[in-house]
């Protein structure tokens, strides 16, 4: 069982205790994709940023977490990161809903550039996101590891 | 702006291209907490597992992602990891809802042990989660970095 292997690897890990408040006041939202080690990719140290991950790195799915992040733990910047080669661009929402018999919106998309830009616009306009929030959209290239900004910063 | 610092750090990062299919067939669900570098904590290598993160590391919030993970990318084990010192145990859902004027369920909890166990039970019974799925619940100790299983494996 693969989880046993992960438990075994955890035995040699030692964490450094720290504050739950993200020092950089940033919340990163990105995809669950197995190729993306976001701490390494952004040079993140433990304690610096919230990391929210879901299928596609979508903002609507992250809203509950972002509200907690902003109101309870003081983050004021959101870094949305979709990526090239994302599985969410490889199937149709309606077909998958029919296959499963569910009305869950799987938030598929055609273009990671467009998805990140659309989600950034949606978040900037959301009435519950704090007005002084900076929201910026990026695409991560799974072949190189580079993040490229979509459009300019919001503020 | 903190995101500029992260963009700068990304410039020296080089990814290793790989398959989008998680080699260990595991999906890890954990909290967005800034102290948890889950790749390091579990000794995860890029390409091994999906990583889903949200406020609290809750399963309901992860369902959309888990369905994609299982049906589109072949994972068959779910490792749910809540943690000690979680902010989601520090406020009341109803109060926060009233403060924001929203009916979003923030999925707060009193005990990370109970939250992980409850979520594992909920996932095991969920009709859309594949029957041959192993779901296991853990609590991560933010002071030591150790994960401790709650109850036994499911299958």
Q: Identify the pLDDT of residue A1.
A: 83
User: pLDDT tens digits for B109-125?
Assistant: 999 999 999 999 999 99
Rounded average pLDDT over B36-59: 98
B132, exposed or middle or buried, with CB in 10 Å at 0-12, 13-18, 19+? exposed
Q: Identify the pLDDT of residue B153.
A: 56
Rounded average pLDDT over B81-88: 97
Half-sphere exposure of A146 (CA within 13 A, CB side): 5
Q: Identify the pLDDT of residue B135.
A: 98
Residue A25, SS3? coil
Beta carbons of B143 and A15 less than 8 Å apart = yes
Q: Identify the pLDDT of residue A153.
A: 57
Q: Identify the pLDDT of residue A154.
A: 47
Which of the 8 DSSP states describes residue B13? -
Beta carbons of B77 and A10 less than 8 Å apart = no
Contact B81, A71 (CB under 8 A): no
Pure H helices in chain A = 2-10, 38-41, 59-73, 93-100, 112-125
Rounded average pLDDT over B20-33: 98
ipTM greater than 0.90, yes or no?
Answer: yes
The domain locations on chain A are 21-149
Beta carbons of B106 and A136 less than 8 Å apart = no
Q: Choose among A7, A64, A79: nearest Cβ to B3.
A: A79
User: pLDDT tens digits for A98-143?
Assistant: 999 999 999 999 999 999 999 999 999 999 999 999 999 999 999 9
Residues of B in contact with A100 (CB under 8 A): 67, 71, 128
User: pLDDT tens digits for A21-56?
Assistant: 999 999 999 999 999 999 999 999 999 999 999 999
Question: A92: alpha, beta or left, given left = phi > 0 and alpha = psi -120 to 50?
Answer: beta
Rounded average pLDDT over A94-99: 98
Q: Identify the pLDDT of residue B154.
A: 47
CA B40 – CA B44 distance, rounded (Å): 6
Q: Which two tokens stand for residue A146?
A: 């580079």
A79, exposed or middle or buried, with CB in 10 Å at 0-12, 13-18, 19+? buried
Which of the 8 DSSP states describes residue B20? S
Q: Which residue of B32, B49, B116 to mutate against A (max A Cβ within 10 Å)?
A: B32
Distance from CA of B104 to the nearest CA of A (A): 7
Contact A46, A15 (CB under 8 A): yes
Q: Which residue of B3, B42, B144 to mutate against A (max A Cβ within 10 Å)?
A: B3
Rounded average pLDDT over B25-49: 98
Q: Identify the pLDDT of residue B63.
A: 98
User: pLDDT tens digits for B59-75?
Assistant: 999 999 999 999 999 99
Q: Identify the pLDDT of residue A105.
A: 98
The CA-to-CA distance between both ends of chain B, in Å, stands at: 48
In words, the CATH class of domain A21-149 is alpha beta
Q: What are phi and psi of A22, to 5 degrees?
A: -60, 115
């Amino acid at each position: 069982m693969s989880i046993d292997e992960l438990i075994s690897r955890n035995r040699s890990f030692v964490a450094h205790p720290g504050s739950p408040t993200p020092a950089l006041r940033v919340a990163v939202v990105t995809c669950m994709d197995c190729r993306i080690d976001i701490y390494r990719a952004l040079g993140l140290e433990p304690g610096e940023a919230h990391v929210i991950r879901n299928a596609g790195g979508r903002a609507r799915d992250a809203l509950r977490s972002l509200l907690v992040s902003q109101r309870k733990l003081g983050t004021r910047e959101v870094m949305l990161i979709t990526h090239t080669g994302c599985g969410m661009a490889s199937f149709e929402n309606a077909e998958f809903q029919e296959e499963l018999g569910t009305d869950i919106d799987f938030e598929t998309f055609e273009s990671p550039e467009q998805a990140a830009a659309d989600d950034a616009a949606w978040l900037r306009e959301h009435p519950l996101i704090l007005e002084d929030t900076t929201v910026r959209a990026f695409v991560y290239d799974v072949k190189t590891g580079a993040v490229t900004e979509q459009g300019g910063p919001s503020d």
